[in-house]
Structure 1
Amino acid sequence: MSNAAFDQWAAAHRARVEAALIRWSPASELSSGSLLEAMRYSATGGGKRLRALLAYASAEAIGASVELADHAAVAVEMIHTYSLIHDDLPCMDNDDLRRGKPTNHVTFGVATAMLAGDALQPLAFAVLLGAPAAASGVVAATHELADASGAYGMAGGQAIDLANVGRAMTLAALEEMHAMKTGAMFEAAIVIPALLAEEDETTLAALAIYAQKIGLTFQVVDDVLDATADSATLGKTAGKDAANDKPTFVSLMGILAAKSYAQRLTDEAISALPPNLDTSRLADLARAMATRSA
């Protein structure tokens, strides 16, 4: 796919998931108005929507409907948004800029921000449970989302991250941490549509390998950008990792080696894609992640 065609596809699907996020957000007339406003503020605040795009691309590759993909895309974006709200809190990364605007707790206060994140998590599961798929597929997809976001996935990875501030980590330990913190939700985004569609184990395994590789790619590039880009470009505070003395791929490998590593991971991800499917959009997404500037 040409760059122009891919950009057009990505823009259309970002708009689609944004509309779905608005549609499946709680009704504003409920009494807990400030909570709902805080949920919408972060959930519908734009962003790269990479996890949603991965869900749509995965669904296209296996021939699943876009309506099925909507449920997967919104569910992973809601979980991701809840994690960002909590990640930015003073007790964690204490950040005041996200997606180019003040973070949730800066705008609504710490208590409401915590509740907004708390409320987005079960809403994500409610959206996924409504997917137009067989019950067995929905159950498998729900298990995947729970595993990816819990103690053996995103939350566990964040705990390891917080525990290792100011400490040296080996490359293997750093990769394991980010496989949980970042990679698990990338894998969920890609695998959930296939689980909903009850794809075969060979396809699921190939998609999982691709997901694990691009999850690491994303984090390596994120570390490079944190060290080289400015806050206006990133839409979040630049240089935060170094300021907080966090171990990163850049601190461990250096910028040039990290860039080379990201490219190698990208090549391995694309090579892992199932040859019997049209995975061109998944390949394009892998390349886009490796070359992104924000």
Structure 2
Amino acid sequence: MADIPPKEDELAGTEQPFVQHLLELRNRLLYCIYGIALAVALLALWPGPNGLIDFISHPIKAHMPPDAKLIAVGVFTPFFVPIKVLGMVGVLATLPWIMYQMWAFVSPGLYSHEKRFALPLILFGSLLAYVGIAFVQFFVLDKMFAFIQGFTPDSVAATPDIASYVEAILSLYLAFGLAFQVPIVVMLLVRFNLVEIEKLKSFRGYFVVLSFVIAAVVTPPDVISQLALAIPMCILYEVGILGAGWFSRVSRSPESDEEQPSTPVEK
């Protein structure tokens, strides 16, 4: 039986000079900046800095006296905090656009079967990030401030600084947005044969401990926010294990499915 010639690599001859890669990276970064600037401009028109600050500060104001307000301690805080909030929300609003630019930068080096699943994976990662941020805004902050305000003595007026509040919730947004990427990381580790599914299953107990350690480090020192981060991470780890096998099968190249080890026929 004649040997079947190997198929030509579809990426052969597509290599570009290093300078060309730098120019492409510059262009993609500029596109990201343009997208963020457009989002910030639109958000400045509506709902505006006041509307955004009222929205993100609602969880803590719900546990403050009706006539209480957040205060601005620094001299330039009333100027810089609205700009920081606009930039923060602008980046979050353009997250799918930023992820798309990342995909567009690396897509020339991907095979056709990899391109087919790279974009849905990026969109799924963006969706998970939004779910994590929404989880912080509508659940974690409310429970966390209710827990913290419960320890405030009656003789103490709790009037938090708006700058420290924005920094605190920004760190929580970032922590939960990244933590909710656990299924993506698990599926990619299995897809690129860096770890086997059985190893991930045996590592389950260690990951539970690791999740609580991470939650204790990146969240405020209250049990509510720590549990709110550690428990979803453990659940998402199981989701990643369940999806890793399926993702590895559907993203396999057609050539790997056709290649079967030949065994000699005994006479």
TM-score tier by shorter-chain length is 0.3 to 0.5
Looking at CA atoms only, which structure, 1 or 2, has the larger radius of gyration?
A: 2
> TM-score, normalised to structure 1's length?
0.32
